[in-house]
Amino acid sequence: MSKGLGKDIARKLGLPQPVVLRRHQRGQPLMTGPVLVQGAGSGADELAAALLSWQLDVRRHAVPREKLGAIILVLDQLARPEDLAKPVLTAAASLRDLAPNARVITVSRSAGDTVDPAAAAARQGVDGLLRSLAKELRAGATGNGILLAGGARTTSPSTLGALGFFLSGRSAFVDGQFLTVGSAGGQLPADAEKPLAGKVAVVTGAARGIGAAIARTLYRDGATLVVVDIPAAGDHLAAVANEVHGTALQLDISSPDAGQRIIDHAVERHGRLDIVIHNAGITRDKLLANMDEDRWNSVIAVNIAAQLRINEALLASERFRSSPRIVSVASTSGIAGNRGQTNYAASKAGVMGMVRATAPLIGTHGGSVNAVAPGFIETEMTAKIPFATREVARRLNSLQQGGHPGDVAEAVAFLASDAAGGISGEVLRVCGQNLVGA
C-alpha cells in the first residue's frame, strides 16, 4: 500500500496526522531559539555558563511571550517533595512559549543514589513529572531527563554530552526518557561535526534497515566502518560498504568464531577496533501456545547468545582496550512485552540484562556498554505488519508517528562517542514515548 493512500485512509479514519520532526542535518546549529536555564544553585549557574560557551542564546529568566527553543530545568538540590513546587511551577509559566520542536530537559539526581526517603521521593518525583509533561507537549516538542549519579555533576562531560544530544535534532524520536550519567568520565569532542574521528566501528546486520542507517550515521560522524551481515545479504552489504567507504565482512554472527573474526578483520584492515554495534536481529513471531523449538532457538541464538559470545571475545582481546564502546540494539518489546513475541522479547530483555552486567567488566578497560531500545521504526521489518495494525501501531506514542532508522542511529552514535563515556549499563528508548506498557 502506498504511503499516500495510507495517509488518505488514516485521515478518513480520524487518526492523528503527525508533525514533521526537527532532525539533525550536517552543518546545522545544535538548535535555534533561546534556551531558558531554570533552577537555583551553583549547579544551574555552572551549567548555564557551559551552554553560553556553545554560543547558545542562554537566559536565566523568562521574557514573557518570547518563543523558546528549550527549557532546561535544573533540579539537582531536591531534599523533599515540597521542593519541586517552586522550580516546576516557574517553568510551567513558560510552557506556552515553547516553539515547535522545542525541548524540555530536566537535570536532577538519581533516586537510587540516596538512602534518605524524603530525598528519594523528591528525586523519583521528577520521573513521574517529566514523563507526564512529555505527554502534554505538542508540535514535535519533546521532554527528556538527565540523572546524575556517582561523581557526575551538572557540567561533567557526559552531562553536557547528553544535553547536547537531547537539545539537538539527533534526539527527534527520543521522548519521555531518562539517561543516567554515572561518572565524571567521558570527553567532549574536539570537532562537534566529527565526534567519531579516528575510530574504527563495526556494525552487525548493516546490509539494510536500522543497521545500514547506523553505518551511514557513524560514517557521517567521522568513523571508519566495518559492516557485517550474512553471506545471503552480500550484495546489499557491499553497496553499504561502498557508500560509507568502509569494508564488508560476510559473517553469521551466531557462528562460534564470530568475535575473533570481527577483531581480526578490523585490526588487519584498519589497524584498530574501538566500537562494536550489535544491531543484527531477527523475529520469528508466534503465540507461545504455537511456538516451536526452531522459532524459539533461532531468535535466542541470533539476538542474544551471539552478542554474549562476541562480547566475551572482545573483553578478552588486547585489541579492544582503548576507551572501547559497545552499543546493542534491544527493543521496547523487551520492556513492555508484545503479543506473539515471547521469544523476541525474552531475547531483547536479555540484551538489557547483559548490558547492565557487562558495564563493570568493560569499565575496567575504561570502556562503556549501553543499549538502545527502538519502538515502532519504519523499516522492512515493520512494513510487513498488516495495514490497519501498522497505521494504529505507528501512532501509539506521544509524537503520533513512527520513527526513522536514522533516529535509532543517532542514539547509537551518541552512545558510541567519547562524550558518552560517563554513561554505561543504560538502556535508552527511541520510541517517541510509546504509550503501551512503558
So which residues are the catalytic ones?
Answer: 344
Q: Tell me the closest approach of the beta carbon of residue 21 to ligand NAD, in angstroms.
A: 16
Q: Does 50 bind ligand NAD (CB under 6 A)?
A: no
Scanning 81-156, the segments in alpha helix (DSSP H) are 85-92, 117-136
- Residue 211's contacts (CB-CB under 8 Å, 6 or more residues apart) are 203, 204, 205, 227, 229, 277, 279, 280
Q: Does 350 bind ligand NAD (CB under 6 A)?
A: no
Judged by CB under 6 A, the stretch of 2-10, 98-106, 158-166, 370-378 that binds ligand NAD is: 370-378
Choose, by CB under 6 A, the member of 176, 211, 246, 432 that binds ligand NAD.
211
Helix (H, G, I), strand (E, B) or coil at 70: strand
DSSP 8-class letter at 341: B
Nearer to ligand NAD, 381 or 435 (CB): 381
Nearer to ligand NAD, 184 or 282 (CB): 282
Judged by CB under 6 A, the stretch of 27-35, 47-55, 105-113, 229-237 that binds ligand NAD is: 229-237
Q: Does 207 bind ligand NAD (CB under 6 A)?
A: yes
Choose, by CB under 6 A, the member of 76, 97, 221, 229 that binds ligand NAD.
229
Q: Tell me the closest approach of the beta carbon of residue 301 to ligand NAD, in angstroms.
A: 8
- Rounded to 10°, the helix 234-243/209-220 angle is 20
Strand partners, 37: 72
Q: For cell 520513527, what's the residue?
A: 403
Nearer to ligand NAD, 162 or 304 (CB): 304
Q: How many CB atoms lie within 10 A of CB 270?
A: 18
Q: Tell me the closest approach of the beta carbon of residue 246 to ligand NAD, in angstroms.
A: 15
Nearer to ligand NAD, 88 or 393 (CB): 393
Q: Does 404 bind ligand NAD (CB under 6 A)?
A: no
- Pair 299, 347: CB distance under 8 Å: yes
Cα–Cα distance measured from residue 94 to residue 141, given in angstroms and rounded to the nearest whole number = 14
Residue closest to 330 by CA, chosen among 286, 375, 385 = 375
Q: Tell me the closest approach of the beta carbon of residue 3 to ligand NAD, in angstroms.
A: 16
Choose, by CB under 6 A, the member of 300, 313, 381, 385 that binds ligand NAD.
381
Q: Tell me the closest approach of the beta carbon of residue 224 to ligand NAD, in angstroms.
A: 20
- Pair 232, 260: CB distance under 8 Å: no
Give the phi and the psi of residue 197 in degrees, each rounded to 5.
-55, 135
Residues 270-309 that bind ligand NAD (CB under 6 A): 279-282, 302
Cα–Cα distance measured from residue 336 to residue 349, given in angstroms and rounded to the nearest whole number = 10
Q: Summarize as ranges the residues that interact with ligand NAD (CB under 6 A).
A: 204-205, 207-211, 228-230, 233, 252-254, 279-282, 302, 329, 331, 374, 376-377, 379-382
